[in-house]
Amino acid sequence: METLKFKTNIKCGGCVATVTPSLNAVEGIQSWEVDTANPDKVLTVRAETATAADVKRAVEAAGYKAESLN
């Protein structure tokens, strides 16, 4: 299990709801969460087989930005 972290512009519950279908559709993601209280809006993903590129692509497909912190 690998933990991937990303700086995002996912800033509220509505944003989280928008990105949820995209992230949930990625094969190999065990779980994920966005810390909207953090100034960097950190997305933490626990991945079995998904890569940072997979996660970034899913976030961008939902209309948001993700910059790897790993």
pLDDT of residue 51: 96
Tell me: pLDDT of 58 over 90. yes
Q: Give 9's Cβ-side CA count (13 Å radius).
A: 5
Q: Is the pLDDT of residue 59 over 90?
A: yes
pLDDT of residue 70: 66
pTM of structure: 0.93
CA distance 32 to 5: 10
Q: Give the pLDDT confidence of 24-44 residue by residue, as tens digits.
A: 999 999 999 999 999 999 999
